Amino acid sequence: MATPAAPAGGARSGAGPEWGGFEENIQGGGSAVIDMENMDDTSGSSFEDMGELHQRLREEEVDAEAAVAEEEDGEFLGMKGFKGQLSRQVADQMWQAGKRQASRAFSLYANIDILRPYFDVEPAQVRSRLLESMIPIKMVNFPQKIAGELYGPLMLVFTLVAILLHGMKTSDTIIREGTLMGTAIGTCFGYWLGVSSFIYFLAYLCNAQITMLQMLALLGYGLFGHCIVLFITYNIHLHALFFLFWLLVGGLSTLRMVAVLVSRTVGPTQRLLLCGTLAALHMVFLLYLHFAYHKVVEGILDTLEGPNIPPMQRVPRDIPAVLPAARLSATVLNATAKAVAVTLQSH
């Protein structure tokens, strides 16, 4: 009976030699993390601190109860009391070890400090890099510098998402599978990450001197041209204007990327392969963004009502013109149905 009583007090603090294995599995050392346990946060309602306090209090209570309970157990039930106390100790040890492992794993993976150097920029630098992304440099004899930062490219991708949303809404795009927001984010991030990886892979095959980070940064800044073109042409719906901008602005930003890649690749075949692929993908993406997400309904509607109508009004106003008799609400008819009705009427 002496043995079960003895470890009760030391159940939490000491690990018996047989349970020492739990602690040995834990990896050591973590660096700066997302500081969930915040040193500089002096807020009174910080719930992680309160959670820990609460936990400690509860554990102390449980210990006190356990001490009382197991004394009774020990006196009354003999073997059962001993087993109960042992299982409690095991459970406690497992909980402690599991909690420690989870927090170490979290601090290892949630370590955002690995990304910190890529965000070390000043606004003036971002501005100058944005402007430079439109200016192709002709020097191809030795490798051109590429700034390895991720802030500018990331913000440009988000800006492209916002512009795409704007374009989809004003053109009344219908997305059947998925949502507008999901499509916009998926398209933009998919392009940035996917094409970067693909070109990096090609660059690896063609022995070009470029790292993944540099490729991400290069392509990200190349989206600046796309943002400008789409922002203008989603608001001014002229085909000729779009093609002019596509060639001019899209072409400039593509030329810049191509020049950088050419300066970092040796051999005409390799240069052709790499730069041809990048140029094709970049220009085709701009075409795709304009035409897939911005249905040109304006041309059809113009024949109905005249050209000077702001885009937001079209949905409620032109339904009566198409179907005056039926009292259908605007949202029931989609753009395709409108177009079909119009073509039927015009025949």
Per-residue contact string for residues 176-215; x = within reach of other proteins by CB under 8 A: x--xxxx---------------------------------
Residue 198: phi, psi to the nearest 5? -65, -45
Taking CB under 8 A as the criterion, the residue among 13, 42, 141, 269 binding other proteins is 42
Segment contacting other proteins (CB under 8 A): 140-148, 167-175, 200-208, 260-268? 167-175
295 sits near other proteins (criterion: CB under 8 A): no
Based on the shown chain and the rule CB under 8 A, indicate whether residue 173 belongs to the binding site for other proteins.
yes
Cβ atoms of 100 and 26 closer than 8 Å: yes
Q: Is 41 in the site for other proteins (CB under 8 A)?
A: yes
Q: Does 112 bind other proteins (CB under 8 A)?
A: yes
Residue 152 or 225: the one with the smaller Cβ distance to other proteins is 152
User: Is residue 53 a contact residue for other proteins (CB under 8 A)?
Assistant: yes
Q: 335-346 and 314-322 helices cross at what angle (nearest 10)?
A: 40
What is the C-alpha to C-alpha distance for residues 23 and 17, in angstroms, rounded to an integer?
11
**Residue 330 makes contact with other proteins by CB under 8 A:** yes
* Selected range binding other proteins among 14-22, 47-55, 229-237, 252-260, rule: CB under 8 A: 47-55
Which residue, 73 or 149, has its beta carbon nearer to other proteins?
149
Instruction: Please identify which residue in 9, 14, 25, 38 interacts with other proteins, judged by CB under 8 A.
Output: 38
CA atoms within 13 A on the CB side of 205: 11
How many residues touch other proteins under the rule CB under 8 A: the total is 56
- Interface with other proteins includes 165 (CB under 8 A)? yes
Judged by CB under 8 A, the residue of 25, 27, 331, 345 near other proteins is 331
The contact mask relative to other proteins for 139-158 (x = CB under 8 A, - = no) is ------------x--xx--x
Interface with other proteins (CB under 8 A), residue from 1, 23, 27, 50: 50
Nearer to other proteins, 171 or 196 (CB): 171
The answer for residues whose C-beta is within 8 angstroms of residue 304's C-beta and 6 or more apart is: 318, 321, 322, 342
- What are the residue ranges of helices labelled H in the chain? 2-5, 20-24, 47-76, 79-109, 123-132, 151-170, 180-205, 212-233, 239-245, 251-263, 268-292, 298-305, 314-322, 335-346
Nearest to 297 by CA among 326, 322, 264: 322
CA-CA distance, 260 to 238, in Å (whole number)? 32
Q: Which two tokens stand for residue 139?
A: 């020097």
3-state SS string for 16-53: CHHHHHHHHCCCCCCCCCCCCCCCCCCCCCCHHHHHHH
- Rounded Cα distance between 238 and 115, Å, is 42
Choose between 221 and 246: whose C-beta lies nearer to other proteins: 221
Question: 198 to each of 188, 189, 256, how far by Cα in Å?
Answer: 15, 14, 19
169 counts as binding other proteins under rule CB under 8 A:
yes
Enumerate binding residues for other proteins (CB under 8 A).
34-36, 38, 40-47, 50, 53-54, 57, 112, 115-116, 118-123, 126, 151, 154-155, 158-159, 161-162, 165-166, 168-169, 172-176, 179-182, 310, 312-313, 315-316, 329-332, 334
